[in-house]
Structures are given as structure tokens and as C-alpha cells.
Chain A
Amino acid sequence: MANKHVNAIVVGSGAGGGVVAKELSVAGMSVVLFERGGWAKYDDHDQDELFSQRTTVLGNAYGPDNIRYKRVRMWSEGEKTIVLPNEGGYGNNAACVGSGTVSYGAMAWRFMPEDFKMKSTYGHVEGTTLEDWPISYEDLEPCYEKAEWEIGVAGDDSLNPFAPPRKKPQPMPPFEHNKEAQLLEVTAKRLGWHPFPIPMLRNSIPYGGRPQCYRIRGCVGFACPVNAKCGTHNTVIPVAIATGNCELRTHCVVSEINVDDSGKITGVTYFDEKNKKQTQTADIVVVAGSATETARLLLNSKSSFFPTGIGNENDWVGRNLQDHAYCGANGIFDHDIYDDKGPGASIAISDFNHHNPGIVGGGVICNEFNALPYLFTGIRPPGAARWGAEHKKFQRENYKRIGRAQGPYQELPTFDGRVDVDNTVKDFWGIPVCRLSGKASIKDADGTAFMADKAEKWLLEAGAIQTWKTGVVTGERPVGGGQHQAGTCRMGNDPKTSVCDKYGRVHSTPNVFVADGSLHVTNGGFNPALTIMALGYWVGGYIAGEWLKGNRFK
């Protein structure tokens, strides 16, 4: 039986797609929301470090699984490697309702005004595709506010002098600092810096009909056992379903956007939960599958009207793949600074996010999420024993004595760092897989060294007896594409150098939209989840508004 025609298809139920589905269905549009996974349950994974979304040695807790999915990595020119979803280099955004927002660390950052104007602020940087966004912080500000209030954020930006202007405070008070953060707070102030509590998509008080967070150590990488972490799965998606206008179709893998004989985009082809090929027609298709999967879907949608894939007329789909260059420092103290108050990450400074002499951009520096015991086995100063009695002793003596400060340095985009598809390698459903190739910018070396230096200074001032830097870029490295992946369907005003317009519509189509991190022109010096949610409101709000005015995007 053929599926009933709907107004809109949304592909992907993560930070972007979940929000779009809600915006459209609340406006009265009929929506089918496709998700390749199912509902994630905390009880399936407990506090099992080896099978989580952060440490994935025994598999990704919330998908994708190793049996049906794979990718191609070109670690260097001509060196083709098949990578499985739980292996480094795959970029394992979760395959479940809510995607990464179920198991993320839940930092709730607004990008700064400069992050939308990187080229105007820093000029052209050789070897990069640094560019301004076609929208400004002021344009996105109301969408940030909606994301904070509808999904739920605990924080107090008034404590951060570098925070961008806002009209309304965050809806929940910030979390109290853990022991490590208390120490780092006093220290940062002594250094003349401006520490503040990290804004979190986590309930510091009961909110949205869900309870308050009880601060377990195993937070990042896991679904919350008490549902205190705020994602799209427990906020906007239930709202969308409750309207009666939105059908969530789980365990469905969208393989192609369909184009008819006249060049009109009519809907999508997908494999249903029984792996049966199906068609769903719609007036509008919104793609929100993450920077890698969105690019893959557009590139796999080839027809005589779009011979190289939808939106790819100028070979820009999949390019400018960005991640973050995580860098910072670790320090050992001579007393316990760990008090088992999860998730660990608690305090931040934004003093070094922009306008650092000689550095393009920068990033926020935070104390790090708790390393669970297995992850901690790899955290050692240079030259320390990697095994044996000494390694075990270090583990026992220093698990509670380590301070870690690091942050997401804003990687500069490159034209060669990209996603495309490998037609010779197919997944379980026979769909050509993502191929990640190219190099990240070597310019990141200065910025990461600068940030790691500040992080180390922070820990030393706090009394660390031994410190070492992490994540400093020292040479050429393959492009990232991890959970912070972004940039592959860049928005812009010029169709020749971007894929989508300022509302996320693919330039060369009237009715295909992108609503996820793919739109990011640059990726900010922050974890990107709240910005992706805000873009969901931006794109979804635009479509719904136009629809109500009678625009059918033909």
C-alpha cells in the first residue's frame, strides 16, 4: 500500500531534525520524521563504559551498529581504509530517536557574534575557506532563546562577560561546581580571567515535566537514567507527535531523494524496518542527517537533472568538513580534587575565544568530563608506564587527583577536507557509503598551542605538581568529522560557493532544505548542539511561516 502524501519529510531526528519536525507540525503541516534507529533506553546499557557512545570499544551503545554500517577513510592520498562505526575516524553520531542529544555531554553554547563573521574579523586565511555566514548572531538570537526555553538549559550567562547579548536569561539556574571546578574558579579569578558555570541542556531543577539531574559520573556517552538530560527525544519530538500531525517512522533508512521526469523533487526512497524499499512523497524534503550523512544523501540522489547529486552543481556538497581541534592540558595534584559529582565538566572560561594576538579564532576552555576508569588508563604524562605495576599504581593513586582543562578550538575549514561517496563500497542496504578524505588546516597549530598553554597555566596556578599538554596540532592531519562534524552544505548568498541559501534551502531546488550542522559556515569555538537546534528553529520557523502564508515551495 502506498504511503499517504504529506506536506513535509524530515530525515533525521537529532538536534536539527527533531526541532524542524516540531516547528512544522505545530504549524499544522503533516510531517513524516524518519529515523534510522529506534528509541534508546538507558537500561540497555546501564553504566557500561565499554559499550557507550563515548568509549565504543565493544560497539556504539545507541548505534550505528558494526554489522550494517561502514565508511571509507582516506587517511592519506591513496590509502583507503574501511572503518566500522565504533572505530576512530568513523564519526559515530548516534542512530536513535534524538540522535546525539540522548547521550551527549549537553553543553549549551551560543556561538559568539564573531563566529558568524570569521572572514570579516580575521580576513582571508591562505589555504582555508574561511567565510562569513549569511546570517548574523542577531538573526539567530531568537532561535537560541527558543531552543533554551523549549528544550531546557541551566546556566547564567551574566557571569560570562564575553557571552553574546541575550534578551532572556536561561530558564534554569546553573549547576553548582564540583570540587575540581571550585578550585579552578578561585584560580581563574586569581589569574584575572572570568570563570562561569558551563550552560547545560540538563535539568538543574525539575523542568519540562522531567526531574532534576542527580549528577552521576557516567553522563556523557549514556542516556540519562532519570531523564534529566534534555534532548530532542524528550522535548520537541513528543510535542510534534502530540499534535497528531507528525508521524515518527523509526528504523527507516532514507537512501535517495526522488526527482520526477520534469525535474521536480517529489519525496524520498527509504528502506523500512523490514528492509523493504518504500517511497514517501511530500511537498518539501528537509535533510537533517548530520554533516556526513546529509552530504551523502544529497550526493547519492543523482538524476538527469542533478547528475552529480542534489545541490552539487559546483562541487560544494560535502566540502569544508569541520570538527573541533580539542586541545588543553592535564595536571596531577597532590590531593584529591575529585568528588564524584558528575558529569565532571562544570566550569569554563571564554577569555580566549576571540581577539587573541596572531590567532584566528580560539575556543572556550572547560574542565573536562569525568574519564571513566578504562578511558583513564590512556591518560598518562609523556614517558609514563603504559602497563605493568607502575601503570596500575598510577591508576590507583591519581584517578581522583587529576585535573583536566581543554576546549574545542575552532578548526579552520578547508576545501579538500570533505565527505563524498564511494560507489564501490556499500552498506547493508546497498547504498554507497560516506568517504572522508583530505587534510585539516595546518593553521590550527598556532591556535591549539595557544589554548593548550592557557589551560596548562590554569592547572599550574591551581597547584598541579605535574602537567602536560594535549591535542596540540604539530603537523598535517586528516580531516576530523567526529561528533561535532559540520560544514558540508555551507549556507551562503552566492550559489557558486555555497550549497544552501540563508534559510537552509538548497540553492538549485525550490523544496529541499538542510537543517543540521552541515549548514555551518564555520564551527565556532564551542560544542555545536545548541547552535544546530537554533538552526532547526531558524529553518523550521521559516518553512512554517512561508507555508502559513500560502507558499508551497513549488
Chain B
Amino acid sequence: MTLRIDSLVVGYGKREVVKGATLQVRKGELVGLLGSNGSGKSTLIKTIAGINRHTRGSITWNGGTDLAALPRRELAKIVAYVPQSIGLSFALDIKEAVLLGRTPYFGTRPRDDDWDHVEAAMRLLGLDELGDRAVTELSGGQGQRVLIARALAQDPEILLLDEPTSALDIRYQWQTLSVARAVTRKNNVAGVIAIHDLNQAARFTDRVVFLHDGEVIADGPPADVYSPELIKRVYGVDVELSAYKGFVQVHPLSEHAEHHHRPAPFAPAFTPRPAEGRLELQA
């Protein structure tokens, strides 16, 4: 039960954005997709979701199903996509917004089975207590939960999240990531999340994949993969690493601090406390 992406090339017009990416995601696993802006994270996710078309390579599921060759509607029964934020042109109530996830399954009239999925997804995300409120009245975190519920109502085997936390404050970032990790386990789906925050990725994902200029340059558990060299290469930033409650954490340094091996005066929050020491990375 693996999502297998092999030598995938995706471009807009003549410009190639994803240049031969290869990676795999198993069921029940949440993989963090990391990389700088423009590294191809979003494009890769949208291509798996069938929003973009790839030019070369393959996307297969379960060892045989060619996802790119499936009809749109059939693909939507396997792959669900969670965008950055909810569109707010019109006041739709929460239940209707989650029901959109059943679009590939029913014609005009939702059946009992569709409502069962909608209600289960709403319960899982704690949306049933918000009642018939309109999505326009929700906070950012609640809106994001509606989008995840919509994706779950789709009953997917692959769940893709495209920077779901970038517009949220820290409380809702935490909540959204918790939910994303919980549902990949509980519903046993293959999860891929594009994310900017390296520390949150280390905390919530099982594995991270670094994209750099459209290519995969590192793949593995955060604690094994994170290194000052890699992060310097991808983001152009000098960092120190530390361990905090068993998770690897990344601390950007100013040039001044790196040369003198002591905290920069204006970045005390990022400096590890001496008691914790520095994390020695395995080779």
C-alpha cells in the first residue's frame, strides 16, 4: 500500500518546476515535504492531486494503479487535497462545505452513505459542535478543520496537505498538524504535507523529504536527515540543531553568532539553553 512517485517531471509551459522527483509514501505515514519557496512542493502536491499534469515519470498507487491515467472522478475517490485556506465568496454552512467532499460520489442528491461520511468526518474534527454556522463566521483554525473534514469525507487513501498552516497562528498551526497526524494514523491513509516550519515538521511527521530546485535531495526521519549543511544548502541559512523532548529542533544563527560560538544579541529565543547541549547527528 504505497504511493510511488518515480522520476516525476512537471512544468508550466517550458519552465520545469519538478525535475525528476522520486519518493514513496506508505499508508499510515505522514511525510513532510520541505524546501524553499519555489522548490516545487506545491506543484508536486497538485500533480499528485490531478490539478496539474506531469510531462514525464509516473505516479502509482498500490504497485499498479497509474493515478495520472485515472478519470478525474475516480482519482478523487483515492486522493484528497487540502488547500492553504478556505474560499469565502459565499456563506455556506459547515455541513454543506464538508459535503463538497462527497462530490465524486453522488450526482444531484446525496445518499445516506454520503451523509454518514460527512457526519463521521465532522465528529472526528470536532465540527459537529459548531452546528450550522456559516464558514464565513469561522476562525482560521476552524476553517482549516472544515477543509480537512471535507478531504476526509472524500474517503481517500492518500491525503495531501498544501501548506495548511501558513496562514494560522501558533495555536491553530499546532491543532491542524495534530489533526493531520492523527487522521493519517486513524484512517490509515498515506499523508503528504508541504510545510515551512522545520521544527514543526520534526515534531509531527514520520519522515521528511527535502525538495531543492525540483529534485529530492534528502529523505528520511527528521533526526537522521536534518543537518546544518543540508539546511544551509536548501535555505541558505546557518543553523544549529538541538534535541528537545526527543525531537530535533533547528535554530537559525546570525553570522556573528556562528563565528563566535555564542548567542547573537538579537536572537536569544533561538539559542539552545546550555543544559540541553547540542545534538550529535548520526552519520
Does A associate with B in a complex? no
